[in-house]
Amino acid sequence: MMRAVAVCFLLFIQATGNRTTYDDIMDLQDGDDCPKGTWSVDGTHFMGADECEQCWEGQYNNQEANIACDMCPAGTFSPDVGYWECEKCPPGQITTESENWECFPCGRGQHSPGEGGTTCLDCPKGGYQDEEGAGTCKLCPAGTSSAEAAVEAADCAACPAGSYSPVEGSDCLLCPVETYGDVSGASSCKSCPSNTDHEGYY
C-alpha cells in the first residue's frame, strides 16, 4: 500500500514538477509571497483582492514574490499555465520566437538534431528526410544521392547512367577513365572491354 502511494506521489511530482497549479494557489494564506510560476501586482497573495495568478501559456516565472512573468525564449515553450521553467523543444521541433506554448516540427528535407532548437537545418548533400519532425537525416542508399543540400532533399534520386554512388550518403561520381555505366542507380562502374576507349562515362 505504501509503495503504491509513493509511486502515485512520484508521478504527481513528475507531472507538476515545474509548474504551480491552481490548487497550490488556493492553499496560500493572505500575505504569503506568490510562488514561482505566479505573479501579482505587489508579489503577494490576498484572497479576493490581489490574488496570485498563474503565468500564461508561453510564459514563466522562476522567482517568488514576482510582479510579472517572462516570455519563454526561442527554442523553449510552456504548454500550460503556471510554469516556472520553460520546456526545451525536443529534437526535430523548434520555436523561432518567444512566448510559445508549443513547438513546431521541421519539414521534410530538414532536421533539428538537439533539444532547444531554433532553426531547422537542411539535410546535407547525400542525405534526405522524408518525414516531418525529424532529429536527424537519413543517408541516401548506394546508387542514389540527393542533388543538393536543400529543403527539396526529401528523397533520393538514382545516379544517372555514367555515374555511380559507392556507399550510403555518397554523392554521384562520374565513372573513372576506362570504366563506364550503362544504367542509372549504379553503385559501381563496369570496366571497359579491351580495345575500347571510353572517356569515363557512358
Task: Report the distance separating Cα 1 and Cα 197, nearest Å.
Answer: 85
Q: Is residue 181 part of a domain?
A: no
Task: Give the pLDDT confidence score for residue 152 in this predicted structure.
Answer: 52
Task: Give the pLDDT confidence score for residue 146 in this predicted structure.
Answer: 83
Domain total of the chain: 1
Q: Which domain holds residue 86?
A: 18-103
Task: Report the distance separating Cα 120 and Cα 136, nearest Å.
Answer: 11
Number of H helices, E strands in the chain: 2, 18
Question: Smallest Cα–Cα separation from 120: which of 102, 139, 133, 138?
Answer: 133
Q: Is residue 153 part of a domain?
A: no
Q: Is residue 190 part of a domain?
A: no
Task: Give the pLDDT confidence score for residue 17 in this predicted structure.
Answer: 67
pLDDT digits (tens, 9 = 90+) for 138-153: 999 999 988 654 445 6
Per-residue pLDDT of the chain (202 residues; tens, 9 = 90+): 433 333 333 333 334 569 999 999 999 999 999 999 999 999 999 987 789 999 999 999 999 999 999 999 999 999 999 999 999 999 999 999 999 999 999 999 999 999 999 999 999 888 999 999 999 999 999 999 886 544 456 788 899 999 999 999 988 999 999 999 999 999 999 999 876 655 444 4
Work out whether the CA dihedral 92, 97, 103, 107 comes out positive or negative.
negative
Cell numbers of 111, please?
A: 532536421
Evaluate if pTM is beyond 0.85: no
* Side-chain half-sphere CA neighbours of 28 within 13 A: 28
Q: Is residue 79 part of a domain?
A: yes
The DSSP secondary structure of 110-141, one letter per residue, reads EE--STTB-SPEEPPTTEE--SSS-SSPEEPP
Element (H, E) at 38: strand 38-39
Q: Is residue 55 part of a domain?
A: yes
Q: Is residue 24 part of a domain?
A: yes
pLDDT digits (tens, 9 = 90+) for 73-110: 999 999 999 999 999 999 999 999 999 999 999 999 99
Task: Give the pLDDT confidence score for residue 195 in this predicted structure.
Answer: 61
